[in-house]
Amino acid sequence: MIRLAIQKSGRLSEDSLKLIRECGISFVNSSLKLKTEATNFPLEILFLRDDDIPEYVADGVADIGIVGQNVLVEANQQALEVQALGFSKCRLSIAVPKTDTFNSIADLNGKNIATSYPNILGNYLAAHNVKAQIHTISGSVEIAPSIGLAEAICDIVSSGSTLISNGLREVEHVFKSEAVLISNQNLSEEKQQIIKQLLFRIQSVQKAQKSKYILLNAPNDSIEKIKSLLPGMKAPSILPLAEAGWSSVHSVVNEDDFWEIIEKLKDAGAQGILVVPIEKMIL
């Protein structure tokens, strides 16, 4: 049995639960409960505040956890990052009032900066030889300049709309973050085996999300050209259609290359192109 800590309620919760379910793990989730046990995998889930997850994992109260890299690095705990999970992507940035001039990070010398991330910000300023006063506050950082607490802030940004609505402008990217799976450093062989199984499932889900299954029809004299456009996992499958001189081609394409490939396939004579999501991909 392994124990996984995830955020009880917040921006990581929904995607964390979705990932566990996509790994084929079933459990009953009640918003009132602080823990639950999976019914078909040796896993117990603890629901915690995200800030507490690195420490719980480092101490071994939980064996593994899902948390933002921003919280992991800020917490400075002895926990291993084992897998990037691709969701809750955001960045920590420094922002100043939009009418203030800002030429370089050196302009922050002697200034007051409000943040909930004093360690990450402190390291960044030290690396850039900037001496500023860091004010640690736990929430609503973006209002600090307008109430006279600080001349700048360092906070989480995703689209930037919160900054704009508070009259601020992003001037420095300090740290890039996404959700990661973290692990305790001293796990038994048995627990490591269970985590290996879980990681295998997570990676299969991730590969599937990046790929699409594609089916199309084409005249036989276009098949060579189409084959060269579709590498697939090995080579594409080609099946004869009931109509003479035509074949059906099946393959897997990477989402990033998708639109470019579709255009080339059409130009090569492909018709009736179907693109379907893949649920799991085992390589």
- List contacts with ligand ATP (CB under 6 A): 7, 10-12, 49-51, 68, 70-71, 88-90, 156, 158, 177
Tokens (6 digits) for 34: 């602080």
By the rule CB under 5 A, 100 interacts with Zn ion: no
Q: Which does 4 bind (CB under 5 to 8 A by kind): Zn ion, ligand ATP, none?
A: none
DSSP assignment letter at 154:
E
Q: Which does 90 bind (CB under 5 to 8 A by kind): Zn ion, ligand ATP, none?
A: ligand ATP
Distance, CA of 216 to CA of 227 (rounded, Å):
12
CB of 7 to Zn ion, least distance (A): 8
CB closer to ligand ATP out of 177 and 204: 177
> What residues are paired with 177 via a beta bridge?
90
Distance, CA of 43 to CA of 26 (rounded, Å):
10
Name the residue number minimizing CB distance to Zn ion.
51
Tokens (6 digits) for 240: 């004869």
> What residues are paired with 175 via a beta bridge?
92
Of residues 41 through 70, those in contact with Zn ion by CB under 5 A are 50-51
- 47 φ, ψ to 5°? -105, 115
Q: Which does 7 bind (CB under 5 to 8 A by kind): ligand ATP, Zn ion, none?
A: ligand ATP
CB of 145 to Zn ion, least distance (A): 22
CB closer to ligand ATP out of 12 and 249: 12
CB of 172 to ligand ATP, least distance (A): 18
**For 129, how many CA atoms within 13 A lie in the half-sphere containing its CB?**
2
DSSP assignment letter at 35:
E
Question: Is there a contact between 54 and 72 (Cβ–Cβ < 8 Å)?
Answer: yes
CB closer to Zn ion out of 88 and 251: 88
CB closer to Zn ion out of 51 and 178: 51
SS3 34: coil
CB closer to Zn ion out of 22 and 51: 51
CB of 93 to ligand ATP, least distance (A): 12
CB of 91 to ligand ATP, least distance (A): 9
> What residues are paired with 95 via a beta bridge?
153, 170
Question: Is there a contact between 146 and 108 (Cβ–Cβ < 8 Å)?
Answer: no
Give the strand pairing for 168-177 and 90-97.
Answer: antiparallel
CB closer to Zn ion out of 75 and 252: 75
CB of 27 to Zn ion, least distance (A): 23
- For Zn ion (CB under 5 A), the number of binding residues is 2
**Measured at the alpha carbon of residue 75, what is the angle toward residues 74 and 76, in degrees to the nearest 5?**
90
Q: Which residues contact Zn ion (rule: CB under 5 A)?
A: 50-51
